[in-house]
């Protein structure tokens, strides 16, 4: 029997109010937590009572659509790295008939806990999985919204499918990226024109902006009537703003989950922290607008989100070490090194984990590279010796 579910007292309001179903289970299939949306999708209404006998196969696996095959998703998730492809589930309770798309992924390398993600489906939909370019993240947006992926390769999808194309590398796409990077602000027209086309004069810049705003709106809202107000790029008294209420932006979802995970960890809610952080790091597929490495207007947001990703990875290292899962700790620390290859504290952390895993040769190689780099760039040795990390 699993431990007492955290939703009985220490559940996160963010997880509870999340618009998609989240189900936390142990590696043996025992259900630990269902948020409100999961209870609704699985036809339990808003009841908060969690039956300690529930298992993943009772609530989810036994309802999988036969066309995609049956079987325990927990067992399947334990056999692979990363999230499973989405599979369809039919839900029938009395007169209720519904469907959902389900995926599952491990929260640690030992398979101690798994997270199921459920999003509403349509009856009669026989697709086997979501498009590959959207399946990397456990979270997906409401398909009625415009979806924008900024972490890694920039992508845009509307309610009827991807909106990708050459236009993303042209002026309308550049304008969209700029507006997304400044999505929390109302931006005067002159400021936008100066940032994107500094060589143009004031009048020419304004003319260009009006032209490309029109072109961008046609791309993002192709079915909008000629007299209907724009929902995404909204005019505001000589200025424009990117309306995030009409869109799903992966960077915002990443930030919400990362901060919720860090907050949960501070409160000692380790299971909830692990769930939030797993979702956050599944969304962080690369730097913010990585295809615009020299755009000055993207630098601040890129560094802000990179720093948050580093904190999330450090937290996952901490959780894995506390759980005695040194393999997972090493994986997270290695990913952290990819973010901060020149950070001496991160190097020290990874070398320390290598030693704990009994990988002394790897630790020696890492230390030798760090020592050489420190001498070349700063003319001094690292602030710690390898022997310091070997002491109990």
What's the mean pLDDT in 148-157?
90
Cα–Cα–Cα angle for 345, 309, 87, rounded to 5 degrees: 135
Arithmetic mean of pLDDT over the chain: 80
pLDDT of residue 94: 47
pTM of the model: 0.67
Domains of the chain: 6-130 (3.30.450.20), 131-312 (1.10.10.10)
List strands edge to edge, sheet with 113-120: 31-34, 21-26, 113-120, 96-106, 87-93
Residue 343 Cα distances to 196, 290, 349, 389, angstroms: 33, 20, 10, 17
What's the mean pLDDT in 256-269?
88
Distance between first and last Cα of the chain: 36
SS (H, E, C) 221-272: CCCCCCCCCCCCEEECCCEEEECHHHEEEHHHHHHHHHHHHHHHHHCCCHHH
Spell 111-137 as b/e; 16+ CB within 10 A means b: bbbbbbbbbbbeeeeeeeebeeebbeb
Q: What is the C-alpha separation between 351 and 328, in angstroms, rounded?
A: 14
pLDDT of residue 151: 93
Q: What is the pLDDT confidence band of residue 69, given thresholds at 50, 70 and 90?
A: very low
Say whether pLDDT at 95 is over 60.
no
* Greatest mean pLDDT among 90-99, 157-166, 188-197, 248-257: 188-197
């Amino acid at each position: 029997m699993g431990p007492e579910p955290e939703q009985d007292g220490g559940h996160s309001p963010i997880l509870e109010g999340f618009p998609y179903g989240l189900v936390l289970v142990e590696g043996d299939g025992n259900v630990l937590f269902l948020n409100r949306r999961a209870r609704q999708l699985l036809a339990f209404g808003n009841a908060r009572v969690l039956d300690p006998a529930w298992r993943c196969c009772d609530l989810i696996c036994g309802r999988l659509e036969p066309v995609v095959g049956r079987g325990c998703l927990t067992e399947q998730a334990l056999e692979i790295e990363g999230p499973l492809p989405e599979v369809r589930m039919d839900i029938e309770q009395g007169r209720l008939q519904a469907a959902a798309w389900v995926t599952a992924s491990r929260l640690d390398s030992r398979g101690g806990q798994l997270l199921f993600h459920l999003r509403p489906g349509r009856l009669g939909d026989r697709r086997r999985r979501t498009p590959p370019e959207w399946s990397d993240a456990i979270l997906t947006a409401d398909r009625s919204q415009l979806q924008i992926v900024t972490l890694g390769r920039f992508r845009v999808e509307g309610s009827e499918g991807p909106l990708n194309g050459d236009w993303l590398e042209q002026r309308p796409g550049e304008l969209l990226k700029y507006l997304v990077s400044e999505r929390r602000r109302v931006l005067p027209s002159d400021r936008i024109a100066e940032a994107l086309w500094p060589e143009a004069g004031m009048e020419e810049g304004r003319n260009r902006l009006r032209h490309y705003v029109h072109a961008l709106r046609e791309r993002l809202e192709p079915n909008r009537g000629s007299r209907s107000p724009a929902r995404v790029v909204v005019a505001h008294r000589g200025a424009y703003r990117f309306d995030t209420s009409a869109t799903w932006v992966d960077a915002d979802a990443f930030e919400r989950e990362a901060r919720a995970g860090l907050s949960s960890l501070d409160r000692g809610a380790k299971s909830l922290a692990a769930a939030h952080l797993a979702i956050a790091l599944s969304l962080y597929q690369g730097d913010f607008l990585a295809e615009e490495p020299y755009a000055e207007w993207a630098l601040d947001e890129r560094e802000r989100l990179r720093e948050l990703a580093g904190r999330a990875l450090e937290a996952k290292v901490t959780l894995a070490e506390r759980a005695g899962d040194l393999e997972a700790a090493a994986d997270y620390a290695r990913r952290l090194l990819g973010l901060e290859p020149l950070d001496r504290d991160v190097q020290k952390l990874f070398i320390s984990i290598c030693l704990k895993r009994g990988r002394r040769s790897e630790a020696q190689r890492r230390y030798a590279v760090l020592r050489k780099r420190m001498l070349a760039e700063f003319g001094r040795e690292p602030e710690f010796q390898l022997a310091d990390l070997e002491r109990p």
